[in-house]
Amino acid sequence: MTKSKVKQIWRNGETALGTLVKSIDPVHSEILSQIGFDFLWYDLEHSDKSLETFAHLSRATRGGSVDILARPARWELMRMGRLLEAGAHGIMYPRCESAEEAREVVRWSKFHPLGERGFDGGGVDNAYGQYPASDYTKDANENTWITAQIESPIALENASEIASVDGIDCIFFGPGDYSALSGRLGDVKGSETLDAAKKVAEATLAAGKIFGTLVFDMEHAKHMKKRERSC
C-alpha cells in the first residue's frame, strides 16, 4: 500500500484539503489528482458509482500524489474492505451514531490485531501480491485512515464517545444531513448548524483526533479553519 499523504500531513499538524469527485470519467480523476489536492473523495453512498467504477477511478487517481477517500453507505461494513482493496487510503463512514458503531467500522477496516478485516493480499493495495502478508497488513493498518461522520442530533450527543474510539482518526461533521435531521433542511451555514459543528470540533480535538467538515465558500472556510484548533 502506498504511504498516506493525509496521515503525514496530520502528523505535521497541518490541514489536509480535498474535493468530492462527482464525475465518473477517469480523465477528470487523473487531472484532479495532479493539481494540488491532498485527497480525492469518492461517494458511493449517494451516487450511482459501482465498486467497479470506483476501481477505475482509483486507478486513474493513482497517477497523481493524492490519497483516495471512499464513502460507502451506512452499515456497508463488508464493502469497506473491497474499497480498500481497490485502492482507497481512507474510509469515510456516514451517519455514525454511537461509539459501538464506530468500533465496528474499525473492526472491518483494520487487520488483526487492530481489527478483523478480511485478508486477500492480491489487490492493488498490496501491489497485486508482491509483499509478504505480515508487511502488507502492518503497512495497511498504518496507512489506512478512518473518518466517522457526525450527521444527526443523536450523533452530536455521542460525539465525544465516538471520537474517543481507538482507530478513528477523524470526525467529520456533515452539515447537510445535520440540518435536514434537525428540521432545517439546507441551512448548512446557519447559526445552529455552525454551533453543532463547533461542539463536534471541541469534542474531537479534546479526544486528540482530527476535525473535518465541508466548506462552501471562502468565508465559511475561514470560519471552519478556526475550529481546527479551538481547544
Domain 5-227 in CATH 3.20.20.60? The answer is yes
Q: How far is CA 4 from CA 94, 115, 124, 161, in A?
A: 21, 19, 15, 26
Alpha-carbon span 99 to 199, nearest angstrom: 17
What are the pLDDT digits (tens) for 159-206?
Answer: 999 999 999 999 999 999 999 999 999 999 999 999 999 999 999 999
CB neighbour burial string for 194-207, b if at least 16 within 10 angstroms, e if fewer? bebbbbbbbbbbeb
Q: How far apart are the first and last CA of the chain?
A: 34
Give one DSSP letter per residue of 144-210, joined into a string. -EEEEEE-SHHHHHTHHHHHTSTT--EEEE-HHHHHHHTT-TT-TTSHHHHHHHHHHHHHHHHTT-E
- Residue ranges per structural domain of the chain: 5-227
Q: What is the pLDDT of residues 20-75, one digit of tens each?
A: 999 999 999 999 999 999 999 999 999 889 999 999 999 999 999 999 999 999 99
Select the highest-mean-pLDDT range: 82-86, 186-190, 227-231: 82-86
Nearest to 192 by CA among 204, 206, 205, 178: 178
> Which stretch of DSSP H or E encloses residue 28?
helix 26-32
Cα–Cα distance for residue pair 180/52, rounded to 1 Å: 31
